Amino acid sequence: MTSAGPPAPPALPAYLRRPAAVAVGLATVVFALLGTRYAGESGSGRIDGHAENLVDSVTSAHVWILQRLSELGSPPLVVFAAFALCGLCLALGRRRLAVVAIVGPGLTGVATTFLKPAIGRTMEFGGFAYPSGHTGGATSIALVAALLLVSLVRPGRITGIALVVTIALVAGGTIGTAMVATGAHYPTDTVGGFCAAVAFVLGTALLLEFVAARWHARRA
């Protein structure tokens, strides 16, 4: 009998799986609550109003920079980044992460695109708003990059969790702020986009780990 060889590196280290499952659950609940709250509405709510005032006070002198930053979440750049990350993961022997790099951002993009008309929240000047596809796209790419970094560096539990959380928040927060500052979205739209990315990217990674565990159990 030939040896099966060493197992493929996981998409999620064991210590990240429980926090990832919690994050997926919380993100799904928040996304659903916000989607239900603002379904069919136009205009900003109370939370949006306070957040918009804060964003305007901080970013009013730098809107032109944020306009350029917002482009980082555009579909063409997200697609390019996803395939680039997939290729990098394959080159580094991270086959499961290569799947996450395509499926996670892909599902995020599909969901944020097709749920917009289903939820029906619109901007005051027209156009569907919830959830923000740019924020979701940028966050999904950042999450994949963070998981790859953790896979390569192999930090301890606390450091690994902190890296993933920080990278996701910085990417999602930056693009989300840019979308609000330029008037493209309400703040709660960007929260919805962020939650969609967390749910689909980490959910895909968890599903791959579950399938891999079942497959290895059957072979054993």
Choose among 26, 24, 47, 21: nearest CA to 189: 47
- Domain span holding position 34: 14-39+63-219
pLDDT at 125 over 90: no
How many whole angstroms separate alpha carbon 51 and alpha carbon 196? Answer: 20
Tell me the two tokens of residue 168.
Answer: 């996701």
Residue 215 confidence (pLDDT): 80
3-state secondary structure of 32: helix
Has residue 213 been placed in a domain? yes
Q: Are 120 and 39 in contact (CB under 8 A)?
A: yes
Confidence of residue 3 (pLDDT cuts 50, 70, 90): very low
Has residue 26 been placed in a domain? yes
Give the type of residue at 214.
R
Has residue 114 been placed in a domain? yes
Residue 52 confidence (pLDDT): 82
Confidence of residue 220 (pLDDT cuts 50, 70, 90): low
Of the listed ranges 26-30, 57-61, 85-89, 176-180, the least confidently predicted one is: 57-61
How many independent structural domains does the chain possess?
A: 1
Has residue 57 been placed in a domain? no
Residue 170 neighbours by CB distance under 10 Å:
13
The phi, psi pair for 128, rounded to 5°, reads -70, 145
Distances (CA, A) of 82 to 38, 101, 109: 30, 5, 11
Has residue 51 been placed in a domain? no
Mean pLDDT of 27-45: 92
Has residue 88 been placed in a domain? yes
**How high does pLDDT run on average in the chain?**
90
Residue 174 neighbours by CB distance under 10 Å:
19
Has residue 45 been placed in a domain? no
Classify residue 9 by burial, with Cβ atoms within 10 Å: 0-12, 13-18, 19+: middle
Mean pLDDT of 82-104: 96
The phi, psi pair for 122, rounded to 5°, reads -125, 155
Partners of 42 in the β-ladder? 122
Residue 131 confidence (pLDDT): 96
Give the type of residue at 202.
L
Has residue 44 been placed in a domain? no
Give the type of residue at 190.
T
Task: Please calculate the CA angle 145-147-151 and round it to the nearest 5 degrees.
Answer: 115
